[in-house]
């Protein structure tokens, strides 16, 4: 059955493993299972996943339009914050869910030869499923309020892709660190809160005084949401590179995304071989 010349590789814990199909199949299976389990036992299923962003949106929209009256100068303000909130929630779910993922999957990691990276990636995949589901409802909402899909919406998948890559990098980093340091959980909770207000979700980036725009858009989430506003909500809104002050300056958020991915991969790969015994 096995060619005598080829000696198989030494047995050791793998991060991805030699078999990409198996890696993908495991990640997919784990994600689908997790996703199914969320809907099991709750009658309303899908609607519960929508409830969180839409209820929060309802409160925020009321406060910011009636009290702060932000909507006067922002076209389709409601559609913007809804898209922004859903995208930010995806990022929060993917990274926050990754933190404890390895520990939660302890039995898989300790009892089976299991590619390590499957675990955080499946968390990101679940968050992506949820994003897809909520985006459907958000798009319906957008159409009702007069924002229709057009050609520039093609930027949206790209924005989601970059956001996913960024979230994956952070998720890898957090999940590996959490095995050693258990206070990553509260630290990341606070960090996510701070990030929420440092990102133009409830406001828009061109309302920010000019001197703060560049540091604000160093945050990749801010850059992505600003670009999303132009592409999806209002093509009169400035593009990300206009707000940050020139295309070359986009190198900063880009470097942060790539840096997060590189750091995440590096830390995770270093921690992966001993995860089974450190848990």
Partner 1 sequence: MSQTRADTVTAPPPEPAAVEADRLSKTFRLPHQRFSTLKERALHPLERRTFDELRAVDDVSLQVRRGEFFGIVGRNGSGKSTLLKCLAGIYRVDAGHAIVRGRLSPFIELGVGFSPELTARENVLINGIMLGLTRREARRRFDAIIAFAELEDFLDLKLKNYSSGMNVRLAFSTAIQVDADVLLIDEVLAVGDAAFQQKCLEEFERLKAAGRTIVFVTHDMRAVERFCDRAMLLERGRLVAIDEPRRIARAYNELNFGRLQDGRVAGTREGDHLSAEIKDAWFERSDGRRVTTLAQDEPLTLCAEIAFHDDVRDPLIALHLRNEARHTLFATSTDMRGIPTGLYAPGDAVTVRVALENWLAPGRYDLTPTVARADRGYLVLDLREDVASLMVHGELETGGAIDIPHTWRLERG
Q: What string marks each residue from 166 to 195 as x (binds partner 1 by CB under 8 A) or -?
A: --------------xxxxx--x--------
Q: Which helix (H) or strand (E) holds 213?
A: helix 210-218
Using the minimum distance from each CB to partner 1, give the nearer residue, 10 or 72.
Answer: 10
119 with 202: CB under 8 angstroms? no
Please tell me whether residue 42 binds partner 1 under the rule CB under 8 A: no
Please tell me whether residue 7 binds partner 1 under the rule CB under 8 A: yes
Residues 212, 232: Cα–Cα separation, whole Å: 24
Structure tokens at 231: 């592409």
Please tell me whether residue 108 binds partner 1 under the rule CB under 8 A: yes
Unique residue bearing structure tokens 């999303």: 228
Tell me the window of 70-78, 94-102, 109-117, 256-264 that interacts with partner 1 (CB under 8 A). Answer: 109-117
Nearest distance from residue 199's CB to partner 1, in Å?
Answer: 24
Nearest distance from residue 123's CB to partner 1, in Å?
Answer: 15
Structure tokens at 163: 């956001």
Angle at 129 between CA 123 and CA 132, to 5 degrees: 140
Q: What is the dihedral of CA 95, 100, 104, 106, to 10 degrees?
A: 110
Using the minimum distance from each CB to partner 1, give the nearer residue, 37 or 158.
Answer: 37
Structure tokens at 107: 């039995």
Using the minimum distance from each CB to partner 1, give the nearer residue, 18 or 245.
Answer: 18
3-state secondary structure of 56: helix
CA distances from 85 to 52, 59, 176, 216, 221 (A): 10, 12, 27, 17, 11
Among 15, 26, 176, 225, binds partner 1 (CB under 8 A): 26
Among 18, 29, 48, 270, binds partner 1 (CB under 8 A): 29
Using the minimum distance from each CB to partner 1, give the nearer residue, 35 or 64.
Answer: 35
Using the minimum distance from each CB to partner 1, give the nearer residue, 175 or 199.
Answer: 175
Among 47, 207, 274, 279, binds partner 1 (CB under 8 A): 274
Please tell me whether residue 36 binds partner 1 under the rule CB under 8 A: yes
Please tell me whether residue 270 binds partner 1 under the rule CB under 8 A: no
Q: Is the dihedral of CA 29, 156, 148, 127 positive or negative?
A: positive
Nearest distance from residue 37's CB to partner 1, in Å?
Answer: 6
Among 18, 20, 37, 48, binds partner 1 (CB under 8 A): 37
Please tell me whether residue 201 binds partner 1 under the rule CB under 8 A: no
Q: Residues near 166 by Cβ (< 8 Å), separated by ≥ 6?
A: 91, 220, 221, 257, 260, 261
Structure tokens at 179: 């095995």
Residues 39, 30: Cα–Cα separation, whole Å: 15
Using the minimum distance from each CB to partner 1, give the nearer residue, 22 or 145.
Answer: 22
Q: Which residues bind partner 1 (CB under 8 A)?
A: 1-2, 4, 7-14, 21-22, 25-26, 29, 33, 36-37, 40-41, 107-114, 180-184, 187, 273-274, 276-277
């Amino acid at each position: 059955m096995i060619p005598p010349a080829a000696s198989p590789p030494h047995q050791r814990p793998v991060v991805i493993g030699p078999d990409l199909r198996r890696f993908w199949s495991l990640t997919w299976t784990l994600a689908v299972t997790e996703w199914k389990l969320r809907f099991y036992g709750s009658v309303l299923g899908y609607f519960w996943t929508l409830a969180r962003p839409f209820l929060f949106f309802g409160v925020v929209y009321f406060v910011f339009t009636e009290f702060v009256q932000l909507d006067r100068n922002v076209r389709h303000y409601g559609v913007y914050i809804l898209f922004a909130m859903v995208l930010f929630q995806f990022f929060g779910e993917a990274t926050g869910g990754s933190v404890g993922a390895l520990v939660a999957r302890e039995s898989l990691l300790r009892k089976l030869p299991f590619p390590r990276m499957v675990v955080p990636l499946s968390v990101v995949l679940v968050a992506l499923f949820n994003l897809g589901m909520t985006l459907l409802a958000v798009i319906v909402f957008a159409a009702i309020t007069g924002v229709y899909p057009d050609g520039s919406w093609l930027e949206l998948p790209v924005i989601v892709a970059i956001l996913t890559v960024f979230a994956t990098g952070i998720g890898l980093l957090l999940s590996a660190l959490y095995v050693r340091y258990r206070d990553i959980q509260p630290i990341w909770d606070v960090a996510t809160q701070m990030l929420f207000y440092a990102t133009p979700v409830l406001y828009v980036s061109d309302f920010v005084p000019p001197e703060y725009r560049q540091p604000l858009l160093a945050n990749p989430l801010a850059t992505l949401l600003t670009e999303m506003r132009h592409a999806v909500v209002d093509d009169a809104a400035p593009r990300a590179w206009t707000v940050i002050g020139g295309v070359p300056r986009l190198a900063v958020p880009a470097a942060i995304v790539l840096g997060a991915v590189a750091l995440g991969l590096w830390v995770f790969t270093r921690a992966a071989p001993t995860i089974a015994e450190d848990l």
